[in-house]
Structure 1
Amino acid sequence: MNTGDLAWVLISAALVWLMTPGLALFYGGLGEKRNLLHTMFVPVLIIGIATLVWFFAGYSLAFGGSGDVIGNLNHILMFDVSFNRSSRGLTIPDGAFALFQGMFPIITAAIITGSVIGRVRIKAMIVFMILWLIVIYSPLAHMVWGGGFLAKLGAIDFAGGTVVHISSGVTGLVLALMIGHRHQSKHIPVRPSYVLIGGALLWVGWFGFNSGSALAANGTAVLALVNTWLASAAAVLTWALAEYYLHQRATLTGITSGGVAGLVAITPAAGFVAPWAAVIMGLIAGFVGFAGITFVKNSFGYDDTLDAFGIHGIGGAVGALLTGVFADKQIGGVAGLISGDASLLWKQLVAILFTVVFAAVGTFILAKITEIIAAPLRLTPEEEAKGYDVIMHDLTVE
């Protein structure tokens, strides 16, 4: 075991955990006044739900065994998980690996909540998230990072473009379509300062998210952090340009969202591409993220409350695809299109399409099951108009 590597992974795990309270603030600032507290409440609740699901069975299903689709239950309740040695050939013990990986389902599930917050019942949300973490997230993590068939195919995902962002974005879109539009959907961000504070916490946490995915304090970790920094900064600028061109103004909530869009796009590529490629990916991500929450959303007419699909679903897919273009064998050991191997691009496309279909179909089925267990899924028009801050939290935020 290497104490330096262990220290970095433990710190990174704490940084990734911080992303969920950050997302709570980010979403709260973007959301509606009548649901401000509830919008922040739900991601914090997800910390409890996702953590215990990971402890009971999620880790074992994601990283136990060597199946093509899902793991086994050999590590249920963290049974036989060593805190002193590694069974995966790492320089950190299995317990540290399980801890770090356990932060990812928390933020993934929390991202989903933004699509339907304020119109889905909390009981239904809890039931759905438990099912989703077991049936969707854990198999995807196994297929990509646990030696499953997408890994065997040769698709790459450094820190979660498919597992985290595409899966959460597509899930949010399907839920939004199934639950339907808000009855009063026009609103502006109520707390831009919350958006900035939450976005900053997300940003800092993302350095651990991507750099920690090297699972060691080494050159790959440095590369991932540099690429994360560059891509997010570039996306801030292109989002600002797009917003200014369309509306003749650039906003604080906009450019902060642009930074998040850049973070999403670089996530699958952080340890595989050169810094110059990260800048290009960030520049593209800013435009794509802005287009996702404006042109795409308006053209198709879906009501994704806080744009989980526009930023995470579309951004994750673009990032995963561009990883197949810019992956540099001299940098990360895997050759993409620019390094002379076009096959990686096709493998990435297969992984993206599979993740979209798997998450979409699975979400539809799980939502129907949830409806049986905890019907109805959505609030009544009267309850929605009143807002969850009054219904559940017994106060109205001024």
Structure 2
Amino acid sequence: MKQPVFIMRPFLALPFAMALLTPQAAFAQVAAADSGDTAWMMLCAMLVLLAALPGLALRLAGASSVRSALCAMAQNMGVAAGVSLAWAIAAYSLIYAPGDAWLGGSGNLLLANLAALREGMTVPESAFVLFQMSLAVFAACLVGGAVVDRGRTGWMVLFAPLWLLLVYVPVAHWTWGGGWLAGLGVMDFAGGLVVHLCAGFSVLSLTLIAGRRASATASGHAPVLGMAGGALIWLGLAGGVGGWALGATDDAATAILNGHFAACAGALGWMALDRVLSGRAAATGAVSGALAGIAAIAASAALVGAGGAMLIGLAAAAICRGIIGFIGKRADDPARIFVLHGIGGLAGVLLLPVFILPMLGGVGFEGAISLSDAMLSQITGVAAVALWSMAGTAIAALLISMLLPLRASAKEEETGLDMALHGEQAWDIH
């Protein structure tokens, strides 16, 4: 039988053996994004957009009059669209591109020069851009709730991108983009300060500028829509806290668990207070308490223990429930955005240094930071963001009002903004 060539002619195998024994040049390892972490970031972004679009749209529609509900939803979608484009054009770059302590640079205008892998992360920069955009859209849609039943849709669509650039961008850069608040040690894990407090105090400023609604439209027509929208926000903002773990990790699961626990404690706490203070537990109190708890836990979702999360949610609900009547007499905020998100976020930011302590189940401070130092930093952050949010919102409102009036006419308010926006066909009366 014919023998194999390498047996009949062993010298032919010598070059192959030498090649195996010769040291081989190492091939450079190209860093690649983790597909699981990337998918997680994209999913979390979609959850936050779920909270911003159908969630807030339904909530604002329920808080408006029956003849302005469609207009409230249209404003919400217009705001989301305008802010998304402004985010791509300039906002992302001005937050995260290298700059100074006050503002980012121009390196990523129109989303140019995005890295295949975001520095220090396991996801492509495009996924990071998407997730951050969803938070900005949610914040801007919250601000849109300030002018329900009385604000012109065109005015709001013009105002929202300017608010993003003038108010949200500096606050996000100061805190998350390596700005001066980050240098002071201000802590905000997932937006208690940047998203909820910033949007809440912007709403306070805008409601005071817009004035109160006409008496005929002074109450929401569909609490069931408001509750459905609130439930979507509850679900969607799980993506806000989970996504800030920047990967499908234990921190992400911890943050989502703590967010849910805070919302549950807030919901039950608000209902219990309703029972004590007014003799009955209002149906809408559950969703109000849940939203207050969610806003409060955002600052510390992955940094505290489960018990701390429950106490933060309960404390935020108690604070918000206690002051809601006082605020309601001074600012016409139909969806309670200032109280639930502004005050709720403020409470969570200030409670963070306490519940982050290891003795209370938290992760503890990095380095030699003391509780008093951390509390001082948080108070500084709250004061700076609250003041700038109110002042920047007023400036943006003044600039847009030079082009278009903020408020609809008295006749439009009386007949409903849906009629002014869409005409009689919107009511199917033909």
TM (norm. structure 2) is 0.87
**SS of residue paired to 2:280:** coil
C-alpha contact 1:292 1:314 (8 A) present in aligned 2: no
Q: Equivalent pairs: percent with the same residue?
A: 34
Question: Which residue of structure 2 lines up, in the alignment, with residue 46 of structure 1?
Answer: 79
Indicate how the Cα distance of structure 1 residues 209 and 109 shifts in structure 2: closer, same or farther if over 3 A, else same: same
| Residue 416 (structure 2) pairs with residue 387 (structure 1) | yes
How far did residue 171 of structure 1 move?
0.9
**SS of residue paired to 1:49:** helix
Question: Which residue of structure 2 lines up, in the alignment, with residue 240 of structure 1?
Answer: 271
| Residue 177 (structure 2) pairs with residue 146 (structure 1) | yes
| Residue 39 (structure 2) pairs with residue 14 (structure 1) | no
Q: For residues 204-235 of structure 1, what are the alpha-carbon distances to aligned partners after superposition, in whole Å with 9 as ceiling and x for unaligned?
A: 11111111111011121111111101100000
Question: Which residue of structure 1 lines up, in the alignment, with residue 258 of structure 2?
Answer: 227
Q: For residues 370-390 of structure 1, what are the alpha-carbon distances to aligned partners after superposition, in whole Å with 9 as ceiling and x for unaligned?
A: 11122x221122211111111
C-alpha distance in 2, partners of 1:124/1:45?
10
C-alpha distance in 2, partners of 1:352/1:52?
28
Instruction: Give the alignment partner of residue 311 of structure 2, picking from 272, 280, 295.
Output: 280
Please tell me the residue identity of whatever aligns with 2:51: M
1:185-196 aligned at under 5 Å gives the runs 187-196=218-227
**SS of residue paired to 1:81:** coil
- Range moving further from structure 2, 121-130 or 349-358: 121-130
Question: Which residue of structure 1 lines up, in the alignment, with residue 15 of structure 2?
Answer: none
C-alpha distance in 1, partners of 2:154/2:220?
26
C-alpha distance in 1, partners of 2:322/2:72?
24
How far did residue 340 of structure 1 move?
5.3
C-alpha distance in 2, partners of 1:397/1:166?
40
Instruction: Give the alignment partner of residue 400 of structure 2, picking from 366, 370, 395.
Output: 370
C-alpha distance in 2, partners of 1:166/1:176?
15
Question: Which residue of structure 2 lines up, in the alignment, with residue 85 of structure 1?
Answer: 117
Instruction: Give the alignment partner of residue 333 of structure 2, picking from 294, 300, 304.
Output: 304
Question: Which residue of structure 2 lines up, in the alignment, with residue 126 of structure 1?
Answer: 157
C-alpha distance in 2, partners of 1:80/1:190?
48
C-alpha distance in 1, partners of 2:148/2:87?
23
Please tell me the residue identity of whatever aligns with 1:136: V
Question: Which residue of structure 2 lines up, in the alignment, with residue 68 of structure 1?
Answer: 101
Instruction: Give the alignment partner of residue 133 of structure 2, picking from 78, 82, 102.
Output: 102
- Range moving further from structure 2, 177-186 or 14-23: 177-186
C-alpha contact 2:59 2:335 (8 A) present in aligned 1: no
Instruction: Give the alignment partner of residue 296 of structure 2, picking from 265, 269, 274.
Output: 265
C-alpha contact 2:79 2:156 (8 A) present in aligned 1: no
TM (norm. structure 1) is 0.94
Question: Which residue of structure 2 lines up, in the alignment, with residue 3 of structure 1?
Answer: 35
Please tell me the residue identity of whatever aligns with 1:42: Q
Decide which structure has the larger Cα Rg and report it: 2
Specify every segment of 5 or more residues in structure 2 that has no aligned partner in the other structure, as ranges: 1-32
C-alpha distance in 1, partners of 2:371/2:80?
40
How far did residue 188 of structure 1 move?
4.2
C-alpha contact 1:336 1:344 (8 A) present in aligned 2: no
How far did residue 91 of structure 1 move?
0.9
Question: Which residue of structure 1 lines up, in the alignment, with residue 245 of structure 2?
Answer: 214
Question: Which residue of structure 1 lines up, in the alignment, with residue 350 of structure 2?
Answer: 321
Please tell me the residue identity of whatever aligns with 1:175: L
How far did residue 292 of structure 1 move?
3.5
**SS of residue paired to 1:392:** helix
How far did residue 305 of structure 1 move?
2.5
Indicate how the Cα distance of structure 1 residues 333 and 219 shifts in structure 2: closer, same or farther if over 3 A, else same: farther
C-alpha contact 1:262 1:285 (8 A) present in aligned 2: yes
C-alpha contact 2:238 2:259 (8 A) present in aligned 1: yes
C-alpha distance in 2, partners of 1:179/1:31?
15
C-alpha distance in 1, partners of 2:223/2:327?
24
